[in-house]
Amino acid sequence: MKKLLSLAATALVAMSANAAISDSDFANNDYIGEWGRLKVQGTHIVSEKGEQIQIKGWSSFGWQNNWGDCHSEGAIQQMKLWGANIYRGAMYVEEDGYNSNPSGFTQTTKNLIDLTAKYKMYYLCDWHILTPGGPLDQRYSKFRDYFKEISQYVKDKGYHHVLYEICNEPNNKDGADGSWGTIKNYANQVIPIIRANDPKAIVVVGTPQWDQRIDEAQNSPLSGYDNIMYSFHYYACSHKGLLSYYTNAVNVIPVFISEWGVANFDGGQRQGRNIDDNCKDGARALMNEAFANKTPWCCWSFGEKEEQASAVTSCGSMELSPSGQFVVQNFMGGCLDCKIKQSDCYVNECQHIPGILDLGLYDQNPDGVAEKEGGLTVVGAGEGVAYHEENTVADEQNDGSLCNGAYKWGGEGFNFRPDECVDASNCYGLTNTEGWHNLGYIEPLEWEQFTVEIEEPGYYTVEALVNPTTNQELSITSRTYGENLLVDLDASTPTEPALLPSISFSTNLKDQGNDNWKFWEWETAVNNLDDLEDINAGILFKEAGKQTIRVSWGAGGSKKETAAKGDFGPLNIKFKSAYTGEGYSELQSVKAAKADDVTIYPNPTSDVVYATGDVAKIEICNIAGCIVAKSASNSINIANLANGTYIAKVTLGNGAVATKTIIKK
């Protein structure tokens, strides 16, 4: 992946962690709104207003199957929470990448551009050549198509947050032509394609020998363009001898460190996840210079592969690896101890639509660990993240557990998802239901979440497997897009679907007493109004691909008494017709809290910190970002803390603000 030049080591300058600490509230920062369209001024990247800023974030690893990359919506949110304001999408061209599926990988790029826009971060669109290393090799000949389509997409969407890295790591391995002359020739072909649609965008140009020989660009930069930067790559365990290339160039040409890592040049595959003091010293040497010069950078990589460079140990749990923790704590500057709540497909196998949506296979919470008290389950691992269970029905409290009173049916042997609190049971008594699950004791306000793969945009019919006890009302929404998915199929047009707030399922099956669980039938939905008219209810998915949906339960069906009751089986969702209207609109974010929304006093203080405003909680963090005190009120006693500078983070109803506070006794 990376190659090492044999050069004398440069002197190391230790970096103070203080240089990387920011007192911003990372989760709610609107970087795009604050900085606007970025541009190059002299040798620096600046905001639209000309203010010097520092761009910092992570690079993806690779979007190919089984490469261990994390690029879900939750991953974007998490990296921002840890301090990132840019995400580099490494679009491999060979290595089972773009050339194996141009339309698919182009769509992945568009999706990530949309996601970074949604979370108000910048996006570096990388064309990841590697083997072969010549940017004009015929295997990379589709660069014109790719950059034309992406820049056109950016133009059509009105985006201003996309930067372009046109050739990752040119090199001369195995006779490839990655010389600076060839790179310049290539750049003169691709830059006009981008500028035709996105004329003010920053373009990052690769440099020879795996983006190490930035001196060649320094000696002979491109001419005739503005907003051009040059890439430099650095791996802390093995590249300290290359640092002088960067320090010599950074005051002459605009430099973007588009890849660096606390790893060996090959990602540290043979070292596992361990990093030693040599690696840490190498990282500090680079970052000391990068922060001093406000050089933009992306750390390699936001992935889970078993190697030094990976930021996390799992894309599901988002547990930081040793190098990931080192980067966040010392350089990224975000909330080290904060993690978003997320769910993902049960046992990593997403259900597909069209098809049967098994309600027992709701999402799992990768972060969830079931707590135990006296050997009994206290709280289900997914409560509040993958599902919500009310559990007030007396019959649910007969299994002797402390799982919110839930009766954990668990199917055969009561061993299906035993550490969770959802009343899921196997379906019995109906041919071809083997392996499906139904829900029991459903109450209003309960919900389940499912991460699913939508095969095709369109209108879908929906049926439910019900038994004589069933009387349920439900809504179905997209958590990914914040949209209601239910429509009246008879009233819908391709562009203006008639939305339904909820639908109901009931049945006229004869009551079989204690044997009701043996009798099931497929039933279509009725409306949820009192006129009892049947309605041709369905679901509209405006986009294909992976998204998270939520099924929420209401007061009860319309054909019987209003109280919700009974069992409810899986949903059968069938494709009906194509959808040709507009796609989902972006979610509107809640207005973030501003610094002047709150006053923290006294400052300095010796014992108590007070905060004004609609305060939900106060957290005191040390300069390394670790929480050392917290309070769920508008004051906090910090008399036990040592003298020094801390960060007081105050959470309000519309976000959070943070400011430095000094303890002086």
Residue 655's contacts (CB-CB under 8 Å, 6 or more residues apart) are 25, 27, 28, 590, 591, 592, 593
Place of tokens 């207003």: 49
154, amino acid identity = V
How far apart CA 262 and CA 103 sit, in angstroms, is 34
Selected catalytic residue, list 259, 420, 448, 463: 259
Residue 197 DSSP symbol: H
For the CA atoms of 180, 183, 184, 187, the dihedral, rounded to the nearest 10 degrees, stands at -160
Query: Considering only CA atoms, which of 483, 448, 471, 499 is closest in space to residue 586?
Result: 483
What b-and-e string marks burial along 174-184, b requiring 16 or more CB atoms within 10 Å of the CB?
eebbbbbebbb
Give phi and psi for 395, each to the nearest 5: -65, -20
For residue 71, what are the CA distances in angstroms to 78, 315, 459, 500, 580?
Answer: 10, 8, 28, 33, 28
Q: At CA 514, angle to CA 508 and CA 518, rounded to 5?
A: 65
Centre a 10 Å sphere on the Cβ of residue 37 and count the other Cβ atoms it contains.
17
Q: Is 54 in contact with 296 (CB distance < 8 Å)?
A: yes
Query: Considering only CA atoms, which of 553, 548, 582 is closest in space to residue 566?
Result: 553
Antiparallel, parallel or unpaired: β 471-478 and 503-506: antiparallel
Tokens for 383, please give them: 């409560």
Taking the alpha carbons at both ends of the chain, their separation in whole angstroms is 53
Residue 212's contacts (CB-CB under 8 Å, 6 or more residues apart) are 3, 5, 232, 233, 234, 239, 242, 245
Centre a 10 Å sphere on the Cβ of residue 352 and count the other Cβ atoms it contains.
13
Reply yes or no on whether 453 is catalytic: no
Reply yes or no on whether 259 is catalytic: yes
How far apart CA 455 and CA 575 sit, in angstroms, is 9
Query: Considering only CA atoms, which of 83, 162, 85 is closest in space to residue 120?
Result: 85
How far apart CA 154 and CA 125 sit, in angstroms, is 11
205, amino acid identity = V
Selected catalytic residue, list 165, 169, 446, 463: 169
Burial class (CB in 10 A: 0-12, 13-18, 19+), 620: buried
Q: Is 460 in contact with 549 (CB distance < 8 Å)?
A: no
Beta strands in 515-654 (DSSP E): 521-524, 537-541, 545-553, 571-578, 600-601, 608-611, 615-621, 627-631, 635-637, 644-652
Q: Is 370 in contact with 419 (CB distance < 8 Å)?
A: yes
Residues labelled catalytic:
169, 259
